[in-house]
Amino acid sequence: MSSAADSSALQFHGYVRADGRVGTRNYLGVLIVGNCAATAARKVADHFHAERLAAFPNVDGVVPFLHELGCGMEKSGEPMDLLRRTLGGSIRNPNLAGAVVLALGCDRNNIYAFLEQEELMEGPMLHTVVLQEVGGTANAIDAGVRAIEAMLPAANAFQRQTVPASRLTVGLQGSAQDPGQDGAASRIQAAIGAAADQLIAAGGTVIVSNTAATGPALAPRARTDALKQEVEQTILWWRDYTAGRDTATRTDAPAGVPAWCGSSALDGALRYAEPLPQHQRGLVLMDSPSHEAVCASGQMASGATLLCVARPEATGFGAAAVPTVNVATSAAQFAQYADDLDVDGSQLVSEAANAQQAGLRLLQQWLAYASGQETQSEYFGTGESKFMPWSIGVFA
């Protein structure tokens, strides 16, 4: 196998949406503006088990997006804006064909204000249910089920089509290299970075997060001075935010972080859960803390349609509605957690002549998972309990 591939040969089979974006999965979502509607939303999603979806083979499932936010916070300002961006971006993610949004009715995150701010309109593929308007939990569950049933035929009409790798957006999560890691671990980090570089070279998009760790390494690679200054200001915010909180935030680049981020120039920076601009491509930094689920929820809202996670903890993480490829960072890790991991990174690098070849192999695996191959976290349904918008601004 060559160490590089003609970008025209890099393809996957995805769901092309009306706006031209391409999903790697075809889900219907059940979201809540505030936690008070969580029970009803869970019941709606649970109603649609495999037997009930058997007549809709192109629909991957009905996924709940449950969280603890939406009340006990100001009705305006960045904390509420952030929550609404995360919810709105999740609805717009091309991995969802449609959604129903539930609310109690007296939520601080008012459902109608949310829809207006996010410029979302109710219609055939976006429904709302308010418990206080329909008469309680049982009626809300019935209304939510009917809403999903109404969307299933249209969702099922989508079929996978062959598209170039340039239509793929990967959310990438890694960790700083432990000084005690062996050479294989370093090569695995480099292979992940090489896969990111090759996807970007093919016209695709890679979103990285965990600003305090990655920002210092990426700021010097910004394409413009304005972008560099924007990233540097965000890094300073993190330093001030964590000062005096028993948290050490480095302002230099931890060893290993540039490896898994690849070597491409930095093309853009986003606030947490801020949507990718329509024509944005390349390497993009989305501001976030280091927590896997918080990162992933923001990356999905920004437009990631596939995630790749490589961390020494081997959590077996999975995101709601976005296939998550977990890469083992050592042979021992893969042997111990094979049921939770998708790629044995040690085998990946041992069978490759160099980082570029290992990266190409990993990129090809990304494309296979993007085309419908099931990840281990999808098998276990992990993502259904891992939707976690960044909880800034909660005071009650």
Q: What is the pLDDT of residue 2?
A: 47
pLDDT tops 50 at residue 208: yes
| Confidence band, pLDDT 50/70/90 cuts, at residue 174 | confident
pLDDT band at 314 (very low <50, low <70, confident <90, very high): confident
- Asked if the model's pLDDT at residue 88 lies above 90, the reply is yes
pLDDT surpassing 80 at residue 255: no
In this prediction, residues 150-178 reach a mean pLDDT of 93
251, pLDDT greater than 50: no
Q: Where in the chain is the domain with CATH 3.40.50?
A: 12-160, 164-380
- Residue 249 has what pLDDT? 47
What is the pLDDT averaged over residues 248-270?
Answer: 75
Q: 10 Å Cβ neighbour count for 162? A: 10
Indicate the average pLDDT of the chain. Answer: 92
Contact 231, 215 (CB under 8 A): yes
| CA nearest neighbour of 79 among 111, 120, 108, 119 | 108
* Class of the CATH-defined domain 164-380: alpha beta
The predicted structure's pLDDT at residue 313: 80
Q: Mean pLDDT lowest for which of 16-25, 42-51, 249-258, 261-270?
A: 249-258
3-class SS at 388?
coil
pLDDT higher at 392 or 47: 47
d(CA 106, CA 111): 9
* DSSP per residue, 13-51: EEEE-TTS-EESS-EEEEEESSGGGHHHHHHHHHH--TT
Spatial contact of 35 and 26, defined as CB atoms under 8 Å apart: no
Residue 131 has a pLDDT of 98
Q: What predicted TM-score, i.e. pTM, was given to this entire model?
A: 0.94
What CATH number is given for 12-160 in this structure? 3.40.50
